[in-house]
Chains A and B, each alone.
Chain A
């Protein structure tokens, strides 16, 4: 019944955090689902990052992809559909020491949670968000999603989708996310690299991963799989080496260039589209407000502050 009976001996203090220690329930995804590879990459990224185990948080909304936290042995949670981002902002702001990772699907992130995505990007809390985009509603079994291409035949559009799909990269750029990358679930090394860079970014970092739903949208991302005749094109990032070729490479701090990348025709490029370190995180901005307030109260204790507040009410 409960896996509490299957407790493995706790890792020795100071032992490195391994995939074994990070593994929890066996994933319930369909065999062949792209999400397995995303999970594998996340383990790898965590093995590289070596954060203290108790300081990692894996969090999600609702969807196939959002089952993620059950499969990762860290503090974690499975919230309601579309609202994982504001919850996770609370986690990040509630304890600045934590490393917060949020996982979810395209419906969770761009449809029901669309407004939260915009506002989380605006606020820039320190956390990493991985969107596992399969361009379909997987858990509810094949309805049109906000990234389903026009013409995609779903149970809610049996004749083919008619509504213009969202362009995730443009949406994220527009919202003001401070780190935006794109990857593909068939590219484990690339995914791991993107997750690592996202985790190290200070602020709201987003990685959109095209992750195929073999059950309801088979072949959705073949156009970017070389062995299926597609093209895998990486973002050619500026190396700042002064070479003549470098002038034509992509500057990740250049928002206009990022928009250009985001507007390429399908399947487009993969890699970091945009990153800025010019904006303070919400965590820092709130800390600034606290520091200023404390300066004004000259280090008074909580009780002294409250007492002086009540004194003004006499």
Chain B
């Protein structure tokens, strides 16, 4: 029913020479050119994971996306928690000679090299891997025929992978139909022809290369909500929509753009507006104008664009205007490495702008958190009448993850400005309370209307040169942020609650750090992992946690700076004056590998066991036993 030549053995081992071998997870690296559609292979696998009964998860990175050039896509799928993209791959699918040359070193010993025999000649002497020649190009051309040439190679490879890992063919077929269904019938038919041909190839040629993911006991899902598959930027956009944000403004820049594209497309359905402005300054200004009307607005950008917003951000602090600013970090400074990941905008996010500008900075830890942090950011912005920055990164922006669909009915907030009459006691800048503006359009019953302003002001918003008032108003702006800090939940602490070492992370380093902790503790070290989402203000009580460990290793993706500490480490040292705080920082434009974090910990503590862990290279899960 899938298509005329569906293999009879679909989705099962019936008729196969050998039974599938059980594995927990696998890392597959697909290397080709960007026009080969290798990313869509990952997309299908992720979607399949989301719909799978086996609780399969995927995790992906797109290190290079220059159009037309070499491109890779890594997908890790398996059962249980998949926290990182995987340091090295178990299977390399090489479409071209250059793909093979560049990526063979990423393959674990015992791993599988699957190459297009029409384009690649591997080193036959290399016995570290299982080499499998698949005629991907001719196989696709034969299967699809006609004028489409080798278009559909990606779907052919999807078929090969589906057979090797015993994936659910029915579900994949449904996904393919959904994906191409909007196009004409031929497209769906060709895709299915390519898929079936790919599926049949290993069945007829490599019956011993056959795996199945462990069936794990599914944690009882009380909610019964389905899994959803999306990237971090989309999650932020939908989080904002859920939180009742209906207005925004921006200017395109990679990797922020897709958030503004999503909002521009989606907002009208909700009666909202997203304005594409002439530059980032106009964008934040327009967003502040929206907020001035009582409609909490969003603007955003990446590194250089955030710099352009700084003057207006200073105004937002001074005028106490709620605002959401998303910054998708990329390699900097300047145009830097626009399609690579970095966490080097931290100081800019917290301290950028002129004068004393206390504001709030939140950093999501994974794609799911992008959604929830967007909602939290909106709550804080409204409650504390403050700009809130969401500091995400290139890695999260394009990575696709699977998570449980949020409880939308419960989370959905009603949008709209509060234009109710303001009583005679209304003051825009009361010294004894948190500011809540009377938006333009609301009646003030005294008949005296407020001016929101970037000049230092008195409680009514009148400009002042009074040193006393400047001191008092600076305190007012600072104290509300401290009030927020006191209300923040304790951050997530995993592992040992006291001991040798505490690994501290923020942002997207959460996943690999969680895995690294397992390895560090497996080496017999008492270790914990503290992950901080509220990077500014910090939650209270961290000094107590820090005291319980001999070393506090702060890992982040930025430079160690002139004084030898990454940006967050510098901040924490300044805040807690604790000399046990040390730094692991790097700027190679890639997310932390688990092994790099383990090595970072090893660098700062004495442990032969940990050194030994690092020295051994783990064989691939696919290795012949």
Contacts and interface: CB of A to CB of B under 8 A. Distances in A.
Contacts of B270: 302, 305
Given A24-B449, A86-B286, 13 more contacts: A1-B458, A25-B462, A75-B438, A77-B292, A80-B311, A94-B289, A290-B268, A290-B271, A290-B272, A293-B269, A305-B269, A305-B270, A310-B408
Interface stretch (B30-38, B276-284, B338-346, B522-530): B276-284
B584 to A, nearest CB: 35
A86 to B, nearest CB: 4
A93 B455 CA distance: 25
Contact of A116 (B278, B452, B453): B278
B591 interface: no
Contacts of A97: 441
Given A297-B269, A303-B409, A95 B446 contact: no
B238 A314 contact: no
Nearest to B287: A90
A3 B292 contact: no
Given A78-B454, A116-B282, A2 B447 contact: no
Grouping DSSP codes into helix (H, G, I), strand (E, B) and loop, the B interface class, with mixed when no group exceeds half, is: mixed
Task: Give the 10 A-B residue pairs with the shortest CB-CB distance, closest first.
Answer: A90-B289, A94-B293, A293-B268, A86-B282, A86-B285, A10-B447, A119-B278, A90-B286, A313-B228, A75-B440
A309 interface: yes
B441 A80 contact: no
A156 to B, nearest CB: 22
B227 interface: yes
A76 interface: yes
7 contacts: A69-B451, A91-B292, A115-B278, A118-B278, A292-B268, A294-B269, A310-B408
A309 B451 contact: no
Contacts of B128: none
Contacts of B415: 302
Interface stretch (A30-38, A52-60, A191-199, A205-213): A52-60
A93 B290 contact: yes
A306 B454 contact: no
Nearest to A57: B440
Contact of A54 (B238, B271, B297, B444): B444
Given A74-B449, A75-B441, A77-B292, A314 B459 contact: no
Grouping DSSP codes into helix (H, G, I), strand (E, B) and loop, the A interface class, with mixed when no group exceeds half, is: helix
Contacts of B292: 77, 87, 90-91, 94
A88 interface: yes
Contact of B293 (A4, A91, A292): A91
B310 to A, nearest CB: 11
Contacts of A74: 449
Given A69-B451, A310-B228, A2 B462 contact: yes
A303 B452 contact: no
Interface in B133-188: none
A290 B405 CA distance: 27
B427 A4 contact: yes
A89 B282 CA distance: 10
Contact of B289 (A88, A294, A309): A88
A230 interface: no
Given A89-B275, A94-B247, A303-B409, A314 B50 contact: yes
B473 interface: no
B442 interface: yes
A70 interface: yes
Interface in A85-133: 85-95, 97-98, 115-116, 118-119, 123
A171 interface: no
Interface in B26-79: 50-51
A265 interface: no
Looking at B242, B270, B405, B460, the one whose CB has the most chain A CB atoms below 10 A away is B270
B370 to A, nearest CB: 13
A11 B447 contact: yes
A53 B446 CA distance: 12
Nearest to B466: A1
Looking at A24, A91, A302, the one whose CB has the most chain B CB atoms below 10 A away is A302
B412 A303 contact: yes
Nearest to B226: A314
B463 interface: yes
Contact of A4 (B226, B277, B315, B459): B459
Interface string B430-456: 000000001111111111111111110
Contacts of A286: 268, 273
Contact of A313 (B230, B458, B463, B469): B230
A123 to B, nearest CB: 8
Contacts of A7: 424, 446, 448
A117 to B, nearest CB: 10
